[in-house]
Amino acid sequence: MDVALAIEHQTGFALDLYKEVAGKNAEASGNSLMSPISIATALAMAGAGAKGATLQEIQACLKLPEGEVMHQFTSQIQGAILKDGSDKGGPMLSFTNGLWVDHSLTLKSSFKDLVKGSYGTEARTANFADKAEEERKGINQWVLDQTKGKIEDLLPEGSVNEKTAMVLANSLYFKGTWKKQFDPADTKNDDFHLLDGKTVSVPFMTSSSKQFVRRYDTYTVLKVPYLQGEDQRSFSLFFVLPDAKDGLPQLEKDLDAKTLSTHLRWTSREIKMGELRIPKFKISAAIPIPEALQALGLKAPFSTAADFSDMVEGPNANLLFLSDVFHKCFIEVNEEGTEAAAASAATMMLKSITIMEPPIDFVADHPFLFILKEEVTGVILFIGRITDPSRSE
């Protein structure tokens, strides 16, 4: 498997999904956040039991055209990237998968083996028919525990009922400390310009230290690295700031996966800064995933034409379909570092060169895009935008 190519495809999926969701964000603030790797894993788990057009659409949506690549990619990413590094001085990271199956269904051994081997989980037996609400609360508690209390009620009331056959879920938790922390004593309130021309006063972090920054035609990219542990992984938060105060919508429209990957990778020179100001922010978001996925061509899995017959034995094999996909995220960026979490659930029903450059200003006092990624591989953990940091939750 060409891991580099698979990750390039993952970036494509991440950007496509982000554009679809951010473009239709109905929240008044317009802030947005998602974890594409979390969503992709939930879909890939479902794909482990899919056949025909259903499998083809999942593969096409994830931009991983070969079935085995989808599962190999997930397995390698989980084993090499999405593992805790806090005991070795790196970020605290947890990524886990869960599978709950109604007691009336018998999973095929091939599906159980694939899910266990590639996704590191074994099926839990549930009684959705008689104890749907109890099972829903149990799954939500699992998510809450896995995300250190950051993601509550992933499955909303009524989302699990007597017709629920299966719930596939995963959770992602990340907590990293900046390699160069910001001094809280230097944090001061200033104006942040909203897309509608209004301003709000919010706390801005600042620093006189050299930073990884690079200017492009219409925007500037700032990379803020996290403390790296003893392994080879390297996590950073990237801020993509358009030149124009109201330039975020056009930036989102013009940006493509190849350009994004290249420009993030090229932001590898630590230079002297002019003025540096980044707002503190904390947001949480519940994302309407099914509509976005269907807009990206994932239709069969949500319909009665779905074919998940490689999941279960017996007469119910041809009756399964995706009834919903739930996704919630949380991220907090402050002087110390970043804490972020995400969870997804699918329910079924029946690499620095020193170059002398003039100082560059990076004043994030207007809407911007941010991306949390692992730099060695390029895997994107979180992607989002801030249009109003005062609306932090």
DSSP string spanning 268-282?
A: --EE-EEEEEEE-EE
- Examine the domain organization and report whether 212 and 89 are in the same domain: no
The CA–CA distances, whole Å, from 314 to 104, 310, 318, 323, 347 equal 10, 11, 9, 20, 20
Checking if the pLDDT of 272 tops 90, the result is no
Q: What angle do CA 276, 279, 280 make, to 5 degrees?
A: 130
Structure tokens at 222: 């700032």
Checking if the pLDDT of 130 tops 90, the result is yes
Question: Which residue type, as a one-letter code, is found at position 57?
Answer: E
E-assigned strand segments in 15-150 = 32-34, 92-102, 123-126
Which DSSP string corresponds to 331-353?
EEE-SSEEEEEEEEEEEEE----
Question: Which residue type, as a one-letter code, is found at position 198?
Answer: K
Closest among 165, 195, 360, 194 to 277, alpha carbons compared: 360
Predicted confidence band of residue 267 (pLDDT cuts 50, 70, 90): confident
- Examine the domain organization and report whether 75 and 167 are in the same domain: yes
57/229: higher pLDDT: 57
Checking if the pLDDT of 29 tops 60, the result is no
Q: Average per-residue pLDDT in the chain? A: 88
State the residue range of the domain holding 160: 3-176+282-349
Checking if the pLDDT of 350 tops 70, the result is no
- Examine the domain organization and report whether 103 and 219 are in the same domain: no
Checking if the pLDDT of 1 tops 80, the result is no
- Examine the domain organization and report whether 235 and 186 are in the same domain: yes
Do the Cβ atoms of 279 and 389 come closer than 8 Å? yes
| Phi and psi at residue 361, to the nearest 5° | -85, 145
Residue reference for tokens 């995706």: 322
Checking if the pLDDT of 349 tops 60, the result is yes
pLDDT of res. 280? 95
Q: Between 36-47 and 109-119, two packed helices, what is the crossing angle to 10 degrees?
A: 160
- Examine the domain organization and report whether 232 and 374 are in the same domain: yes
| Phi and psi at residue 89, to the nearest 5° | 90, 5
Predicted confidence band of residue 353 (pLDDT cuts 50, 70, 90): very low
**CA-based Rg of the chain, rounded to a whole angstrom?**
21
Checking if the pLDDT of 224 tops 90, the result is yes
- Examine the domain organization and report whether 41 and 115 are in the same domain: yes
Residue reference for tokens 């996290």: 226
The CA–CA distances, whole Å, from 33 to 295, 316, 346, 372 equal 18, 36, 19, 11
pLDDT of res. 25? 58
User: What CATH number corresponds to the domain at position 306?
Assistant: 3.30.497.10
Checking if the pLDDT of 310 tops 60, the result is yes
Provide CB contacts within 8 A for 39, sequence distance 6+: 17, 289, 325, 327, 344
Most confident of the following: 38-47, 168-177, 187-196: 187-196
3-state class (DSSP) for residue 54: helix
- Examine the domain organization and report whether 238 and 338 are in the same domain: no
Most confident of the following: 17-31, 104-118, 233-247, 286-300: 233-247
Burial category of 147 from C-beta neighbours within 10 Å (exposed 0-12, middle 13-18, buried 19 and up): buried
* Cβ count near 89 (within 10 Å): 12
Please write the tens of the pLDDT for every residue from 64-99.
766 677 888 888 888 888 888 888 888 998 888 999
User: What CATH number corresponds to the domain at position 247?
Assistant: 2.30.39.10
pLDDT of res. 23? 74
- Examine the domain organization and report whether 95 and 230 are in the same domain: no
The CA–CA distances, whole Å, from 375 to 213, 225, 232, 351, 372 equal 15, 10, 10, 7, 9
| Total number of domains constituting the chain | 2
Do the Cβ atoms of 342 and 382 come closer than 8 Å? yes
Span between the terminal Cα atoms of the chain, in Å: 41
- Examine the domain organization and report whether 138 and 275 are in the same domain: no
| Phi and psi at residue 125, to the nearest 5° | -80, 135
For residues 304 and 56, give the distance between their C-alpha atoms in angstroms, rounded to a whole number.
16
- Examine the domain organization and report whether 129 and 274 are in the same domain: no
- Examine the domain organization and report whether 133 and 48 are in the same domain: yes
Please write the tens of the pLDDT for every residue from 160-188.
999 898 898 899 999 999 999 999 999 99
- Examine the domain organization and report whether 161 and 235 are in the same domain: no
